Amino acid sequence: MQIWVGLGNPGAQYALNRHNVGFMVLDTIAEMHGFGAVKKAFQGWTQEGRIGTEKILLLKPATFMNESGRSVGEAMRFYKLGEGDVTVFHDELDLDPFRVKVKTGGGTAGHNGLRSTEAHIGNAFRRVRLGIGHPGHKDKVSPYVLGNYAKAEMDPLADMLGAVAAEAPWLASGDDGRFMSDVAVRLAG
């Protein structure tokens, strides 16, 4: 079993924030791959399903971004899994908008959701970095990540979410390189 975590903040006012792209991608994966009903568990919302032969638990922590790790750690302990069984989908300032990269381990780059997750489970979990671009100056970062996607960004956002969900079987099987390659091909088309 794998736990796929989408980072975001609960509440309608945050739904279209750049910071909530992790929630958005989990919703798209759940819909495209026919996951079960949403349940409340582990201080968040979960959905269970299969991608290929892999059983996946989708988890959207309801603890707000800064405390995401509490939810992730609770789910990981419940299923007796290791940090290598956890994949976290999150917004990434240091990637161009709508670019997608995968890596295991590494720093948190000031991302509070990653920092909290690392504090609760260690840092050897896989990260799917969903590019949002950088606003240009560090003083603008907070309003930028907590700002909504612009109307002109909605189509590229939908394309990226669809590409990630469509290529999710490569992630589930552990072929991160093929996943990144196929997502990039879809987005270039």
Active-site positions? 19
Nearest to 74 by CA among 91, 89, 62: 62
Compute the 3-state secondary structure of the chain and give helix, strand, coil in percent, each to the nearest 5: 45, 25, 30
Residues 6+ away with beta carbon under 8 Å from 179: 102, 167, 168, 170, 171
Q: CB of 35 within 8 A of CB of 47?
A: yes
Residue 63: what residue type?
Answer: T
Residue with the two structure tokens 């489970």: 121
Q: Residue 89: name the closest of 28, 37, 133 by CA.
A: 28
